[in-house]
Amino acid sequence: MRSDKLSAERIDEILAILDELKASGMKAEVFAQSKGLGYGQLRGWLSSAPRWRAHRAGVTLPPRRSTFVRAQCNPNPAPATDGSCQPAHARITCEVAQRRAQIDWPVAHAAECAQWLRAWLG
């Protein structure tokens, strides 16, 4: 059974390993192999390290940015001009942190819309 809570002692051990990685100048994958660690495990520790260090220092970090984007669909789309049942435009509203965008994008150009959203969301 997996436990998501690590003891303070274990976190200190992991942070010492990460400090050793940084001091070694080795690539993480090579370092992991040299220590008999899984590379994925080491990467997980590297991503958690800033939060662990801040917690040890008594600093509160802002919550992690979610990769989930809530899309609001227009329940009454405008009919297409060619008489088909497919709407001519899709209305997309995105909110990420303090940024908000609402766009009406032609359904026929969905690939360009996806490309623009990826660039805008970063």
Residue 112 covered by a domain: yes
**Total number of domains constituting the chain:** 2
Tens of pLDDT, residue by residue over 37-77, are 999 999 999 988 988 898 888 887 766 666 665 655 555 55
My answer on whether 53 and 69 are in the same domain is: no
What percentage of the chain reaches a pLDDT higher than 70? 71
Residues 6+ apart with CB under 8 A from 32: 38, 39, 41, 42
My answer on whether 72 and 117 are in the same domain is: yes
Q: Where are the alpha helices (DSSP H) in the chain?
A: 8-24, 28-35, 39-57, 110-121
Residue 1: pLDDT band with limits 50, 70, 90 = very low
- Of 64, 59, 61, 73, the C-alpha closest to 107 is 73
pLDDT score at 94: 74
Greater confidence (92 vs 70) lies with 92
My answer on whether 53 and 92 are in the same domain is: no
Q: Tell me the residue range of the domain where 25 lies.
A: 8-57
My answer on whether 77 and 53 are in the same domain is: no
**In whole numbers, what is the pLDDT of the chain averaged over residues?**
79
- Of 59, 62, 47, 50, the C-alpha closest to 97 is 62
Residues 6+ apart with CB under 8 A from 113: 90, 92, 103, 105
pLDDT score at 6: 86
Residue 114 covered by a domain: yes
My answer on whether 72 and 120 are in the same domain is: yes
Residue 13 covered by a domain: yes
My answer on whether 41 and 69 are in the same domain is: no
Residue 85: pLDDT band with limits 50, 70, 90 = low
pTM above 0.75, yes or no: no
